[in-house]
Structure 1
Amino acid sequence: MIFNIPLLTALIAIVAAQTLKIPINLLTKRTLDLKIAVSTGGMPSSHSAAVCSLAASIGLADGFHSSMFALAVLFSVITMYDAMGIRRHAGTHATILNRIIRLFPAHSKELQEEGTLKEMLGHRPIEVCAGAVLGVVIGLLMN
């Protein structure tokens, strides 16, 4: 496993993207939040970084005409589409539901005891693109 360069590249891309979220959040929101390094959502997308670094690494190792590269690219597209689509919309739904819970506290005591729903689940397109670029760069550097 340690000699599997595509796998190692993807894992490094995840760690790099998650780590970069801390200074980016500090610059954009002026708050130091270390928990963001282990959360979903945010800039850059670690999912995009992982799958794009994996695809780049496979392309460089097996050739850009190989079946493995085609599989990795398709996997990347589906993952990034999901991050911008379903997961992002689920986060929007969580935001709306949390607002409803706060508006009707008498009727939602049971829901409030459960805690609020996590709102930052998916990514904006710019976050996915930034993760993809980071991933490709890491894939190129690792090979």
Structure 2
Amino acid sequence: MQDVETILQNKILLASLIACFSAQGLKVIIELIRHRKINFRFFMSTGGMPSSHSALVGALATGVGLTKGWESAEFAIASLFAVIVMYDAAGVRQAAGKQARILNQLLDEFLHDAHHLNAEERLKELLGHTPFQVLVGLAWGIGISILALPVF
């Protein structure tokens, strides 16, 4: 039980999680503004605006830099980890989402009854992020870390 308390006192971890979860919450708000309806699936979905993965790693790297120093090995590790995660979010997963969209369109065209397929049979299309969504997520994470660390 003492280990849990120790983990919950980790300022960098808390700031990073707040950045991630608040970015997920922003997705719901943005969806509400764009489509005038609440879609709670955005709390758990991948893809969309802003990138919660980028927010998390941006807050992590910023928190490490603020607490350990910008010249520290820990900051270098966190920064490189952030770059890899953001590259994956905007590159590999975005490409996989585009491929899924094309495959679903092909399925719709060749199988006239494809619309009866349930969500589990169709490929998930919203997997990755645009570079802009990644940058917004990164900015969100940096901002949350800068604001949250002094509070903790």
Question: With structure 2 as the length reference, what TM-score do the two structures score?
Answer: 0.87
**What is the distance in 2 between the residues matched to 1:89 and 1:106?**
26
- The reply to whether residue 40 of structure 1 matches residue 46 of structure 2 is yes
Deviations 1:10-40 (A, max 9, x none): 1111110000101111222333211111100
Q: 1:131 aligns with which of 112, 116, 137?
A: 137
Map 1:45-84 → 2, pairs under 5 A = 45-84=51-90
- The residue identity in structure 1 corresponding to 2:10 is N
Aligned-pair CA distance for 1:103: 1.0
Map 1:92-103 → 2, pairs under 5 A = 92-103=98-109
Question: With structure 1 as the length reference, what TM-score do the two structures score?
Answer: 0.92
Q: CA 1:78–1:102 in 2, change beyond 3 Å: closer, same or farther?
A: same
In structure 1, runs of 5+ residues without a counterpart are: none
SS of residue paired to 2:47 = coil
Structure 1 runs (4+) deviating above 4 angstroms are none
**What is the distance in 2 between the residues matched to 1:142 and 1:54?**
12
What is the aligned residue count? 140
Identity %: 46
Aligned-pair CA distance for 1:56: 0.5
In structure 2, runs of 5+ residues without a counterpart are: 1-6
Question: C-alpha root-mean-square deviation of aligned residues, in Å?
Answer: 1.6
Aligned-pair CA distance for 1:106: 6.8
**What is the distance in 1 between the residues matched to 2:136 and 2:37?**
21
Q: 1:91 aligns with which of 87, 93, 97?
A: 97
**What is the distance in 2 between the residues matched to 1:23 and 1:127?**
15
